[in-house]
Amino acid sequence: MRMLWGSCLVGLLAVSGLLASEQLKVTTGEAKTHVGEIVTVCGKVVGSRISKYSVTSRGRPVILNLDQPEPNPVFLILTWPSDPTKPGDLEGSLHGKQVCVTGKIVKGRGVPQIITSDSSQIQLQSDETK
């Protein structure tokens, strides 16, 4: 009997580990209820701008608005372009595209956002996954 319970416990731990490793995917509207969690957020880039301020030694980040533009954004991605001398290239290449980003949701000025260390963390959605 003891061995049976041990096997069950190992099985439950394995299943719970599998479930924990699967990434939760949420919409931009749902993101506000997941602050502090690591999730995948997907949406359409409808606006962008280059920050007026350098946040780190990497220069000025690009701020992407998903699903609703400023002044009332629903969700933001704050990222740095792969080539810091060309932040405008990143803005133009993602505008109007469906994207997903995975990371910890934080709130900045009341808006949920994910801050990425590099724009390569932003994945374009293919037509099949929209």
- The pLDDT tens digits of the residues spanning 25-69 come to 999 999 999 999 999 999 999 999 988 887 777 778 899 999 999
**pLDDT-derived band at 12, boundaries 50, 70, 90:** very low
Residues shown for the chain: 130
What domains can be seen in the chain, in order of their start residue?
24-129 (2.40.50.140)
pTM: 0.76
- The pLDDT tens digits of the residues spanning 64-120 come to 999 999 999 999 999 987 766 666 677 778 899 999 999 999 999 899 999 998 888
Q: Which residue has the higher pLDDT, 8 or 46?
A: 46
For position 58, what pLDDT does the model report? Answer: 73
Report whether pLDDT(23) > 70: yes
Cα angle 40, 86, 74; round to 5? 35
Tokens of 30: 């749902």
For position 20, what pLDDT does the model report? Answer: 43
Q: Which amino acid is at 36?
A: G
For position 88, what pLDDT does the model report? Answer: 67
**pLDDT-derived band at 13, boundaries 50, 70, 90:** very low
CA distance 42 to 66: 8
